[in-house]
Structure 1
Amino acid sequence: MNRRRQKKLSKRLVEAATFGDSTRVNALLRAGARPEASNAEGTTPLYAASVIGATDNVLCLLEAGALPDTESGRGAEGTPLCAAACWGHTETVRALLARGADPRLREDRGRGRSPLEWAMTGPCPETIALLLGAGARPPHRATCPLS
């Protein structure tokens, strides 16, 4: 497949994942779209699906070969697990953890927030409990609402 066609497929796959369109995600993967490829902005399909909590698409992309800890964007996004945790998408968090996402991995190449810190920014007690159970470490006691 030529490079231009692959770029178009990547762009379309990120769009389909962004809108939770399972039918298009599956069709694009069958057509040869790479699940790890990003669009022009650096957004990966797995990140896009994780932000909206589209667990079915997350599972499909992981099954197709997307890596659970690949950082998305160019400094403005993060990891799929951080994205799902931020919005309290517990089932998506569960799916990512079950397929190897690291609950301790900080975004922004290790300098940003962890999934637990993102979950703690909102009313996400179930997501927080899930991350702690998976081995996430709470931030310093002075800033941790769980203390």
Structure 2
Amino acid sequence: MCGGGPGIDLLLRAGADPAAADGDGTTPLYAACVQGDAVTARRLLAAGAPPDAESAGPGAEGTPLCAAACWGHTETVRTLLAHGADPGLREDRGTGRTPLEWAAAGPHPETVAVLRAAGAR
């Protein structure tokens, strides 16, 4: 399931699984978060996409929150946090960076502030 906007609504209404990864292992939520598409992320989360599910595709490994934080997509970070994403969760099955580490490395100070306000350390 790729793409955002009205197309995502059509796919979801047709019964597409909002959590299903593509052939490479990338989830639609992860892809939306890399692009900073908070609207599509919100739609996927409302349809049941798990906020902390890791993607495994080439160049798309990690959690949606880490992806959004890495690129400084603050509104997408807020969306994920509002839907229960764990601000302290390390990607790579607990061995990688946290969203806060990604945002700080950016550097993306606004994203860092939002993550800290959510309890990230």
Shorter chain as denominator, the TM-score bin is: over 0.9
Post-superposition CA distance 1:20-69 (Å, at most 9, x none):
x3111111111111001100100000000000110000000000000100
Of 37, 48, 63, 2:20 maps to: 37
Q: How many residues align?
A: 120
Written as runs of structure 1 = structure 2, the 5 A alignment for 1:1-147 is: 13=1, 15-16=2-3, 21-74=4-57, 76=59, 77-137=61-121
Verify the 8 A CA contact 2:69 2:100 in the aligned structure 1: yes
Structure 2 gaps, min length 5:
none
Verify the 8 A CA contact 2:24 2:58 in the aligned structure 1: no
RMSD between aligned alpha carbons? Answer: 1.1
TM-score w.r.t. length of structure 2: 0.95
Structure 1 gaps, min length 5:
1-12, 138-147
- How far residue 121 of structure 1 moved from its aligned partner, in angstroms, is 1.3
Structure number with greater CO (CA < 8 Å, separation at least 6) is 2
Moved over 4 A (4+): none
More strand by share: 2
